[in-house]
Amino acid sequence: MAALIELNKQGWHLTSEGLDKCKQELTAVNKSATNIKDIISTALNFDIVGIGDKYFPDDINKLNEVPCLPCVLQVVKTRNISAPKSNEESNHSPRMLQIHLSDGSKCVVGIEHEHINKICLDTPPGAKIRIHSKVIVKNGFLLLNPMNTEVLGGKVESLYNKWKAGKEGCGFARGNNIDDETSPPFVPFGQKIAKHYNANKPSLKPSETSNPEASSGFRDHREAAIAEV
């Protein structure tokens, strides 16, 4: 119980079962299961869904600000809502990250109200952040800034590997898709556009029934008809 109270003071709202999981992990590697610092280091690399206690109320829309801080949350996903989804890394306008966060029981959404240096689109799911000070809630969104948000890090292997595989798959698809919606390359006036066709499309495959002799006969017949005119 004393350990849970001390963890709560540092923003870690764990269930009793979650605390036991961290202690078991420490015991397995011959570390002290009572050292708060070691427990936190272990919890950083655990999925908070399996160890975190419910922190947010069911209807967060009723809140004007987050109560009883600090609180450690886990990143679920990030999105740059100031750019098209197909090109979230665009620098045409200042970024504004939408960060989905979990307390282990409920998912909430934070908005990067001011630029936070240590969080970006490459921040993987499973990473932990701690919100503290005053966090305003507007229409159910947490307004995050460098003054109330601290990035703690952490790496949950199962979530990280799934996220990394997904990013690599999306990159491969974009690099091999010739029918995407990206803008076509600029071609100077007077030059023909080089078109690339997907030869695997049935409509673009050469006809297997073409007859060179029939084509030649058609041309001879056409030339004879023209000569008669």
What is the CATH number for 152?
A: 2.40.50.770
Co-location of 31 and 106 in the same domain: no
Contact assessment for residue 108 and residue 60, using Cβ atoms and an 8 Å cutoff? yes
The sheet carrying 128-131 orders its strands as: 137-138, 141-144, 107-112, 97-102, 71-80, 128-131, 149-153
Tell me the pLDDT tens digit for each residue of 11-49: 999 999 999 999 999 999 989 889 999 999 999 999 999
133 lies in the same domain as 158: yes
Residue 126 belongs to some domain of the structure: yes
Q: How many degrees, rounded to 5, is the angle at CA 6 between CA 46 and CA 125?
A: 25
Domain span at residue 65?
60-84+93-168
For residue 139, being part of any structural domain is answered with: yes
Specify the pLDDT at position 1. Answer: 78
* pLDDT, tens only, 96-150: 999 999 999 999 999 999 999 999 999 999 999 999 989 999 999 999 999 999 9
Q: pTM higher than 0.85, yes or no?
A: no
Domain count within the chain: 2
128-131 and 149-153 beta bridge pairing: antiparallel
For residue 34, the surrounding DSSP H or E stretch is none
